[in-house]
């Protein structure tokens, strides 16, 4: 990776508009707007799915029709009209390519703007890419190395075709079709996403990485991700998102399911940078995501997220600590600026004995934004010696933003030890002046203070992501003080 210098940052700070606000003009195969059973069937047909998958989708759709969009989150928005969205859009550039030379140059240009050219990624040690652009995977690398270890890493559509027994066994086991409004919608219409299976005892030798993009106007993107770590295996999965500028709100309702079997470990890291809307609060992505992991005996799942984008973020990566001695972790940085709203946190469900969970949440609010942490720690009656440590810190910039903390604790076992700490601080003029006096200008001072505030979480990210994340934090808060 090229070294990121302060000059680069300075250059970026000058760019007021959303950095990735461009639109690639590629011919697309897009469904007309609207959603009914025929559309669900058509999506399934388009993806050449087996009958059981079609039925599964239809079951989800029927449940969804009777569900009501949830309103409990601390966010305000105009509800999307689900009948005015097109539920399928695929780049026309099929079939898949054997080498980059065959790839649509415009697509390559898109990658370049995103700073993730495949060439660079290939050279980047240990990162395999499965790039999702507008719902269909168009490029996969590093497959060979993974094959040798028996690791399956492919698009979910491919997995449905090539490994139906695995998908059928696990899909919907952690996030059932009827789990919630958005999960049900996703189950009915998901167009693509990633699938990953790590066999018993295998340590995945590289960070697995997928970049998602929303590219087609008015196309909601509904990814479905399923990661299965078999007994004693390990995998680190990176997910990063950017989206081009749009005036209309774009809906994004993903579902991620993680399954960590006995003694397995999954590390799932996200950098989310969907278009947040402009400074007046116009446009921006609605990000309603359901992420959940299941831990069997001695298993461990870590969620790490850096959320800087989206007009609205509604997201609670959770762990079901089913097996004894299992461990769940949640490390989060959520930045809101201008008119962004975030309601994010986690659920740690302690079912097994000696289960442990850690929650570190860092919320940074600027502008007129609202940033809420919402978390549930639940200890069941069987979960002897469960332990949880939660720390929720909020940093405010300016006087028009808000930070809120909603911790829910439900304990049904007396042996549980639950700790919760929360702080709220403000970037003070004194801190800024102190930095100024040492020769550090205000923009840089804010970056320094914010990075310091977020350090515990940034440290949890894989190296290549940490740099990107740090950069994003700085860009997201540009111009928010002074």
Partner 1 sequence: MLKINNLHASVEDKAILRGINLEVKAGEVHAIMGPNGSGKSTLASVIAGKEEYEVTEGEILLENVNIDEMAPEERAHKGIFLSFQYPVEIPGVSVTNFMKTAINETRKANGLPDMPANEMLKLIREKSEMLEIDRKFLSRSLNEGFSGGEKKRNEIFQMAMLEPKLAILDETDSGLDIDALRIVANGVNKLRSRDNAVIVITHYQRLLDHIVPDFVHVLFEGRIVKSGGKELAHELEEKGYDWIKEEVNA
Binding region for partner 1 (CB under 8 A): 6, 428-431, 433-442, 444, 448-449, 451-456
Which residue number, 251 or 333, has a Cβ lying nearer to partner 1? 333
* Number of C-beta neighbours around residue 249 at 10 A: 20
Distance of CA 375 to the CA centre of its chain: 17
What's the min distance (Å) between Cβ of 230 and partner 1?
38
CA distances from 475 to 15, 420, 450 (A): 9, 31, 11
Which residue number, 103 or 440, has a Cβ lying nearer to partner 1? 440
What's the min distance (Å) between Cβ of 464 and partner 1?
20
* Number of C-beta neighbours around residue 413 at 10 A: 15
What's the min distance (Å) between Cβ of 469 and partner 1?
14
Rounded-to-integer distance, Cα 31 and Cα 238, Å: 30
Which residue number, 245 or 436, has a Cβ lying nearer to partner 1? 436
Bridge partners of 209, per DSSP, are 129, 238
CA distances from 174 to 21, 112, 233, 319 (A): 35, 36, 19, 10
Determine how β-strand 265-273 pairs with β-strand 234-242.
Answer: parallel
Which residue number, 201 or 452, has a Cβ lying nearer to partner 1? 452
Nearest to 227 by CA among 214, 201, 252, 209: 209
What's the min distance (Å) between Cβ of 189 and partner 1?
42
What's the min distance (Å) between Cβ of 14 and partner 1?
16
The dihedral built from the CA positions of residue 24, 30, 33 and 34, taken in this order, carries a sign that is negative
Which residue number, 299 or 449, has a Cβ lying nearer to partner 1? 449
Which residue number, 359 or 457, has a Cβ lying nearer to partner 1? 457
What's the min distance (Å) between Cβ of 396 and partner 1?
14
Which residue number, 54 or 451, has a Cβ lying nearer to partner 1? 451
Rounded-to-integer distance, Cα 152 and Cα 145, Å: 10
* CB of 451 closer than 8 Å to CB of 333: no
Which residue number, 158 or 443, has a Cβ lying nearer to partner 1? 443
Rounded-to-integer distance, Cα 168 and Cα 145, Å: 26
What's the min distance (Å) between Cβ of 333 and partner 1?
12
What's the min distance (Å) between Cβ of 454 and partner 1?
7
Which residue number, 9 or 349, has a Cβ lying nearer to partner 1? 9
What's the min distance (Å) between Cβ of 204 and partner 1?
31
Which residue number, 281 or 398, has a Cβ lying nearer to partner 1? 398
CA distances from 207 to 20, 129, 182, 338 (A): 24, 9, 28, 33
What's the min distance (Å) between Cβ of 436 and partner 1?
4
* CB of 344 closer than 8 Å to CB of 308: no
Is the peptide bond between 95 and the residue preceding it cis, with omega within 30 degrees of 0? yes
| Strand, coil or helix: 2 | coil
Which residue number, 143 or 426, has a Cβ lying nearer to partner 1? 426
Compute the 3-state secondary structure of the chain and give helix, strand, coil in percent, each to the nearest 5.
Answer: 25, 35, 40
What's the min distance (Å) between Cβ of 99 and partner 1?
39
Rounded-to-integer distance, Cα 452 and Cα 469, Å: 13
What's the min distance (Å) between Cβ of 449 and partner 1?
6
Which residue number, 413 or 442, has a Cβ lying nearer to partner 1? 442
* Number of C-beta neighbours around residue 311 at 10 A: 26
Instruction: Output the DSSP codes for 342-389.
Output: EEEEEEEEE-STT-EEEEEEEEEE-TT-EEEEEEEEEE-TT-TT-EEE
* CB of 421 closer than 8 Å to CB of 428: no
Radius of gyration of the chain (CA): 22
């Amino acid at each position: 990776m090229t070294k990121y210098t302060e000059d680069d940052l300075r250059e970026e700070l000058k760019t007021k508009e959303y950095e990735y606000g461009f639109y690639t003009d590629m011919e697309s195969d897009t469904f007309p707007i609207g959603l009914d059973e025929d559309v669900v069937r058509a999506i399934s047909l388009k993806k050449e799915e087996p009958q059981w998958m079609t039925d599964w989708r239809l079951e989800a759709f029927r449940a969804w029709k009777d569900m009501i969009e949830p309103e409990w989150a601390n966010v305000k928005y105009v509800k999307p009209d689900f009948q005015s969205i097109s539920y399928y859009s695929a780049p026309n550039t099929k079939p898949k390519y054997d080498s980059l030379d065959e790839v649509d140059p415009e697509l390559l240009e898109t990658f370049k703007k995103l700073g993730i050219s495949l060439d660079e990624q290939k050279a980047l040690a240990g990162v395999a890419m499965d790039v999702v652009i507008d719902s269909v995977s168009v490029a996969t690398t590093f497959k060979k190395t993974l094959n040798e270890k028996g690791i399956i890493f492919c698009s979910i559509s491919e997995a449905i075709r090539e490994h139906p027994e695995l998908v059928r066994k696990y899909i919907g086991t952690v996030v059932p079709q009827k789990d919630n409004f958005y999960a049900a919608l996703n189950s009915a219409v998901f167009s693509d996403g990633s699938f990953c299976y790590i066999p018993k005892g295998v340590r995945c030798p590289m960070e697995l990485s997928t970049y998602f993009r929303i590219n087609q106007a008015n196309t909601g993107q509904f990814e479905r991700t399923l990661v299965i770590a078999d007994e004693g295996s390990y995998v680190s999965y990176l997910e990063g998102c950017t989206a081009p500028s749009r005036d209309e709100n774009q809906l994004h309702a993903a579902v991620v399911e993680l399954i960590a079997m006995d003694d397995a470990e999954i590390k799932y890291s996200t950098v989310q940078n969907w278009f947040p809307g402009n400074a007046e609060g116009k446009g921006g992505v609605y990000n309603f995501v359901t992420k959940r992991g299941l831990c069997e005996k001695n298993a461990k799942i870590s969620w790490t997220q850096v959320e800087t984008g989206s007009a609205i973020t509604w997201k609670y990566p959770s762990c079901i600590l089913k097996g004894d001695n299992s461990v769940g972790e949640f490390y989060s940085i959520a930045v809101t600026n201008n008119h962004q709203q975030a309601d994010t946190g986690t659920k740690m469900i302690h079912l097994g004995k000696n289960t442990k969970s850690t929650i570190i949440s860092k919320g940074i609010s600027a502008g007129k934004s609202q940033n809420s942490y919402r978390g549930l720690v639940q200890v069941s009656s069987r979960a002897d010696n469960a332990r949880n440590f939660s720390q929720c810190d909020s940093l405010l910039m300016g006087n028009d933003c808000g930070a809120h903390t909603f911790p829910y604790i439900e304990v049904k076992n007396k042996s549980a030890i639950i700790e919760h700490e929360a702080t709220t601080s403000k970037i003070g003029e004194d801190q800024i002046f102190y930095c100024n006096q040492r020769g550090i200008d205000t923009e840089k001072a804010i970056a320094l203070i914010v990075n310091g505030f977020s350090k515990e979480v940034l440290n949890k990210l894989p190296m290549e992501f940490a740099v990107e994340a740090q950069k994003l934090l700085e860009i997201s808060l540009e111009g928010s003080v002074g």
